[in-house]
Amino acid sequence: MLLEKIASKKSVIGILGLGYVGIPLALRFSEAGFRVLGFDIDGDRVSNLNSGRSPIKHIPGAEIASMVAGDSPLRSKPDKAYSRCRDRLDGGGGFSATADFARIPEVDAIIICVPTPLSRHREPDLSFITSTMETIAPYLRSGQILSLESTTWPGTTEEVLRPFVDKRGLTIGEDFFLVYSPEREDPGNPNFTTRTIPKVVGGATPACRSAGEALYGVVIDRVVPVSSTQAAELTKLLENIHRSVNIGLVNEMKIIADRMGIDIYEVIDAAATKPFGFTPYYPGPGLGGHCIPIDPFYLTWKAREYGLSTHFIELAGEINRDMPEWVVTKITDALNERQKSLKGSRVLALGIAYKRDVDDMRESPSVLVMEILRDRGALVDYSDPNVPVFPKMREHKFDLKSVDLTPESVEAYDCVVLLTDHSDFDYGMIAQHAKLMVDTRGKYREAKENVVKA
């Protein structure tokens, strides 16, 4: 019955967690002709989405409004079943959001996209997952599929989610289907969409895997089935550990090249001409985003259960965590060479989102650089066209607004440090008027007296 509903697009899709992963997924299912009900504990976000407003910069509000209105190019003329479903979701369109988790029985597919941060002791924090399961468990019913997309350690789906389903009296693989399918969103990347990024799917049973393939197969170009939920969970960790280790390597190479007086970007570009056996990675002020700085330590934590040490993962983590401190040292040295101390100097941070052309502040190394500078007596401001006001963050606090970049404002600072290379910055103007420019992103390749590479 479930597979038939999915194939005919009569099933209702529930997305739990309407953030950088959940919203693009909701858009894709809606675009493909499905009714979507989004769940989130943030009442303001729910209200904004229902009003057709986007809470994320790189997702246009017009797309949200179209999703709410149900203006899908792939949706055929509504039939009676669709009309009943529309009335049930009382949104009048293709999507509605709610903070009422008692509406879980209305959906056929439950897709969990909630955060999985680290604790202060760098151990997995699954509180968002467990609280979500505790909330929805009383409302689970037969005929549903539950898919976890949050990145986590191998075994989470079986060891954490499955007991909630079992206690409900549902039989996994027969009247209820449990899968793990890791998210692969890359915010702000115009070359890939939710539809075109292959989707890995692992099931608690072969029947669960088939249900997962059916669910994602109607909206994703390529579904990649694996043998178990554990294999799917480890796949996601391997992807992010691969990046973390290679970024750690190139950041260490940057430090070595800097000490030797060699331009690391020239070296990377030259090495990238090799047509085999080399993939270019580029250094920066540290790691950012919800995945790369965090996910590797999920495996480190789990490996201890098996008496194993993850040497590469932990070493890469140490190098990447040390990069903000190294950047501040370069700033301090550059100011000293100009007879200025860091304490009392005015420093402007360019770009505080974790990557180019997004407003995502999660784990941004720019914030760590700003904090170190502030703690050492510098007077810190920032400019970021995507973050007009410094947001409320759990571990970081600045009462600042983005500085408008003009020749006069740039000249007013003792040092301008490029931390995130947004496309909107006028790099020529900035370099022309900056007294001292510290470049952590390799935007200024040609040697300039006022530019220091870090």
Residues assigned a catalytic role: 291
What is the Cα–Cα distance from 398 to 392, expressed in whole angstroms? 8
User: What DSSP designation does 391 have?
Assistant: P
What is the Cα–Cα distance from 292 to 289, expressed in whole angstroms? 7
What is the Cα–Cα distance from 359 to 65, expressed in whole angstroms? 20
Computed from CA positions of residues 391, 292, 126, 372, in that sequence, does the dihedral angle turn out positive or negative?
negative
**For residue 272, what are its two tokens?**
């990238």
User: At residue 203, what are phi and psi to the nearest 5 degrees?
Assistant: -115, 155
Q: Is 61 exposed, middle or buried (0-12, 13-18, 19+ CB in 10 A)?
A: middle
Residues 6+ positions from 286 with CB-CB distance below 8 Å: 251, 293, 320, 321, 323, 324, 327, 365, 368, 369
Residues 6+ positions from 445 with CB-CB distance below 8 Å: 263, 265, 266
The residue count of the chain comes to 454
CA-nearest of 41, 186, 240 to 128 is 41
What is the Cα–Cα distance from 417 to 439, expressed in whole angstroms? 6
Computed from CA positions of residues 405, 323, 243, 122, in that sequence, does the dihedral angle turn out positive or negative?
negative
What is the Cα–Cα distance from 404 to 179, expressed in whole angstroms? 47
Alpha helices, DSSP H only, in 144-295?
Answer: 156, 162-167, 206-217, 229-260, 264-271
Q: How many contiguous H segments (helices) and E segments (strands) does the chain have?
A: 16, 13
**For residue 344, what are its two tokens?**
């009392």
C-alpha atoms less than 13 angstroms from C-alpha of 127 in its C-beta half-sphere: 5
What is the Cα–Cα distance from 387 to 357, expressed in whole angstroms? 10
Asked if residues 244 and 313 have their Cβ atoms less than 8 Å apart, the reply is yes
What is the Cα–Cα distance from 234 to 212, expressed in whole angstroms? 17
